[in-house]
Structure 1
Amino acid sequence: ISMKRYDIGDLVGKVGADNLLTTITQLDPIHAEFSIPSNDYYFLRTLDYENVKVIYLLSDGTPFDNLGKLDFIDSVLEPSTATIKARAIVENPEHLLVPGEFSRIRLDGIIAKDCIAIPQVALMQDAKGSFVFKVVEGKAQPTPVVLGYNIGNDVIIKSGLHDGDIIVTSQLIKLRPGAPVTPLNQAQTNQAPNNQAKP
């Protein structure tokens, strides 16, 4: 409970006055409200929330000891910000987290099924957008791709590639469309010809 606003004997209830007596808050467990961009929401809405871990990042960037969990995601889009409100809950027995404090939220345990992820170093850019060099009949072929989410040093490809495609991941600066390339297995040595390709 916060500091009281009035003492016994004070007149309260005047028209137009601030009649708040005090504020009661719950510290353990504690809730955090945050917003999810609409694009991320469409990715998240099919997930099993029980598998998603919520990590509270304190003001100095260190993660809070206790993991939280999602307990609410709104069904209404906020038109002014194109975001959807969400709420997480975490055990806070030592009251290290306090109401009104700003902290960052990181969601872990999200699994994207049946998707293609490639190293970010394989991506190239031109006036039309992102593309990769795909190996087609032993030659490098520029292939436009639509990018999804970054995961570490990899990026999810929404469209443009299919299961089994082989892309070039090194010597890209020297590579030109139609140049011959020799795919290498990951088990082979890194001592390889100039134009290398990995699946």
Structure 2
Amino acid sequence: MQKSLRRHGVAIVSVLALGGLAYLAYNAYRAPAGAAAPAAGNAAAAKPGAGAPPAGGFPTAVELTRVARVSLVIDATAVGSLRSNESVTLRPETAGRIAAINFKDGVPVGKGAVLVALDDATQSAELAQARANLELAKATFKRNEELFAKKFISSQALDSAAATLRVQQAALALAEAKQAKTQIRAPFSGVVGIRNVSVGDYVKEGQDLINLEDMRTLKVDFRLPEAMLPRLKVGQPVEVVSDALPGERFTATLAAIDPLVDANGRAIACRARLDNAGGQLRPGMFVRTRLIFEARDDALMIPEQALVADPQQAFVFTVVDGKAKKVPVKTGLRRGAQVEVVEGLKEGDVVVAAGQLKLRDGAPVRDAAAPPPGTPAPAAKPETPAKAAS
């Protein structure tokens, strides 16, 4: 009986000892890491709140920037092509053999100049025949008028002579037109291209002979997104640059806006006119265009990464007295990595540019570029004693 009581007592003591050890382990686990438990004798000397974080928590390191006022140009850029003010490929309207070529490749020619002449022997003979027939018809009609005045012929005979005269006049005009078609003339002043035919070649109707380009004024064709349509106005200046002429800038004028928007690319075709009196540019060249809509000197810009997306309204965090402040903003244009702020900020405001995702309104912050508070200043280097003069 005594042995049984002794065993129960040992078990109870063991359970109590294990419970005490568990309690001590639990308290040790809840203590802050690295904080040593004060000794029993020094418990009264421990100061309350020692080692605790300041009220509101430690400041969060963030990157800061200031709202800057800059010049902002509202423009639209596009790529385009140059076209001649007038361009035509000359072709003969009648078949024949080339009798003369009256130009040199790539030289200017005037309006109406005969560039290519075909053999017109047949047409010249038909023209001479038509002239002779017309002279005969004129003489017959004049004689019939005299006879009709003397009542020697009827009015019907006079009418027949008049009709014959008109037929011969038409025949002469037809012969002259046929003879004129043997001469290919310049329809306007311009520069001829490079010919691929020679004297003696037989050409067919509609065969390409030579191209003629009026390059004193060039057309600049380009396309812009349909969103730009409300800003487009005829007469706006267009800046034109070409990779072939680095450093050169040319000014054109918007001359026409296509009334039809391309349904495939949702773009609108535009045409500007460029004075090319110097002849530096050529039709077919690739150019870059810039259409300036507006220029402002008071745009407030911040880095685009400073914006925090929100379903209701975008916002940024400003820093006031070392604390973050949530400020809703209204944005405008974007240029590169910068965004315009239309409402919500003013020039000189300090804005969190990076690290704002872990902030809340009123949280303490510090500039990540500055050393943390309490960091000792680097020790000054001892001065090197001057060498004694020898």
Normalised by the shorter chain, which TM-score bucket? Answer: 0.5 to 0.7
Aligned to 1:119: 302
Which of the residues 271, 275, 288 maps onto 1:87?
A: 271
Question: Which stretch shows the higher mean deviation, 30-39 or 88-97?
Answer: 88-97
Give the Cα separation in 2 of the matches to 1:174 and 1:6. Answer: 74
**CA 1:83–1:26 in structure 2 vs 1: closer, same or farther (change >3 Å)?**
same
Aligned to 1:184: none
Aligned to 1:141: 326
Where do residues 44-193 of structure 1 align in structure 2 (5 Å cutoff)? 44-45=231-232, 49-50=234-235, 52-59=236-243, 62-108=246-292, 110-111=293-294, 118-121=301-304, 123-124=306-307, 126=309, 131-133=314-316, 140-141=325-326, 143=328, 148-150=333-335, 154-156=338-340, 162=343, 165-166=344-345, 170-175=351-356, 176-179=359-362
Give the Cα separation in 1 of the matches to 2:315 and 2:208. Answer: 61
**CA 1:120–1:174 in structure 2 vs 1: closer, same or farther (change >3 Å)?**
closer
**CA 1:30–1:106 in structure 2 vs 1: closer, same or farther (change >3 Å)?**
same
Whichever residue aligns with residue 27 of structure 1, its letter is: M
Q: Specify every segment of 5 or more residues in structure 1 that has no aligned partner in the other structure, as ranges.
A: 14-18, 182-192
Whichever residue aligns with residue 111 of structure 1, its letter is: E
Aligned to 2:203: 10
Aligned to 1:36: 224
Shift of 1:144: 7.1
Greater helix share, structure number: 2
Residues 142 and 177 of structure 1 are in contact (CA less than 8 Å); yes or no, is this contact kept in structure 2? Answer: no
Shift of 1:156: 4.5
Give the Cα separation in 2 of the matches to 1:89 and 1:63. Answer: 20
Give the Cα separation in 1 of the matches to 2:277 and 2:289. Answer: 19
Aligned length: 167
Residues 55 and 64 of structure 1 are in contact (CA less than 8 Å); yes or no, is this contact kept in structure 2? Answer: no
Residues 171 and 194 of structure 1 are in contact (CA less than 8 Å); yes or no, is this contact kept in structure 2? Answer: no
Give the Cα separation in 1 of the matches to 2:239 and 2:287. Answer: 10
Whichever residue aligns with residue 172 of structure 1, its letter is: A
**CA 1:38–1:149 in structure 2 vs 1: closer, same or farther (change >3 Å)?**
farther
Residues 122 and 170 of structure 1 are in contact (CA less than 8 Å); yes or no, is this contact kept in structure 2? Answer: no
Q: Specify every segment of 5 or more residues in structure 2 that has no aligned partner in the other structure, as ranges.
A: 1-191, 369-390
Structure 2 residue matching 1:68: 3-state secondary structure:
strand
Structure 2 residue matching 1:27: 3-state secondary structure:
strand
**CA 1:112–1:79 in structure 2 vs 1: closer, same or farther (change >3 Å)?**
farther
Give the Cα separation in 2 of the matches to 1:81 and 1:166. Answer: 38
Shift of 1:104: 0.7
**CA 1:56–1:28 in structure 2 vs 1: closer, same or farther (change >3 Å)?**
same
Structure 1 residue matching 2:214: 3-state secondary structure:
coil
The share of aligned pairs that are identical, in percent, is 13
Give the Cα separation in 2 of the matches to 1:91 and 1:79. Answer: 32
**CA 1:66–1:147 in structure 2 vs 1: closer, same or farther (change >3 Å)?**
closer
The normalised TM-score by structure 2 is 0.35
**CA 1:62–1:127 in structure 2 vs 1: closer, same or farther (change >3 Å)?**
farther
Give the Cα separation in 1 of the matches to 2:240 and 2:337. Answer: 23
The normalised TM-score by structure 1 is 0.62
Give the Cα separation in 2 of the matches to 1:92 and 1:126. Answer: 49
Structure 1 residue matching 2:284: 3-state secondary structure:
coil
Give the Cα separation in 2 of the matches to 1:90 and 1:20. Answer: 28
Question: Which stretch shows the higher mean deviation, 170-179 or 70-79?
Answer: 170-179
Q: Deviations over 1:152-188 (max 9, x none)?
A: 775356xxx53xx22765433243231369xxxxxxx
